[in-house]
Amino acid sequence: MPSTDKYNVRSVDELAGIAEAFLRKFPEPGIFILNGSMGAGKTTFISALCKLLGADTASSPTFSIVNEYHAPQGTKVFHFDLYRIKSLEEALDFGLEEYLDERNAHWVFIEWPDLIVPLLDSYHIVRIIDNDGIREIEF
C-alpha cells in the first residue's frame, strides 16, 4: 500500500507547493476522489492543480455537475461535483461512465464521490480536513 502524504495548509498561498507535491506523486492522469466537508477547500485545491497542469482556472461545477478544462497537448481535466446527485442512476443518466472511460488519457477529479464509488475500479483518494482554519490535505 502506498504511503500517504500529509500537509497542513494555513493559507491559499501554500496550495501551489502542495499541488506540486501532488503532481510529483501522481504524474499521470487518473481518477482522484476528494473527500472533505462543505467549504473544506476541495475546489480550491483542484483549481491549484489545474493551474499547474496548464488548464483553465477551475470553478465549482455544483450546478453543472461537471466542468471540463483544457490543458496543453490535448489533455483534459474533468472536474465533477456530485453533491446534488441523489442516485447512481442519475449519475449514469448524465453519462458519467463515458468520462470515467477517459481516465487514462485525462485527469478526473470528483467531489462528493460516495454514490459512484461502486463504478470505479481504481482511484486515488484526497482528503481535506478543516481543523479550525488549518486545512490538512492528505493523498
Rama region for 8: left / alpha / beta (φ>0; ψ in -120 to 50; rest): beta
Q: Check residues 14 and 3 and name the one with the higher pLDDT.
A: 14
The per-residue pLDDT for range 79-96, each reduced to its tens digit, is 999 999 999 999 899 888
Cα distances (angstroms) measured from residue 35 to each of 42, 71, 110, 127: 8, 24, 9, 5
Residue recorded with cell 448524465: 94
Q: Contact 96/36 with Cβ under 8 angstroms?
A: no
E strand spans, the chain: 6-9, 31-35, 66-70, 76-81, 107-111, 124-131, 134-138
Distance CA 92, CA 44 (A): 26
> Is this model's pTM higher than 0.85 or not?
yes
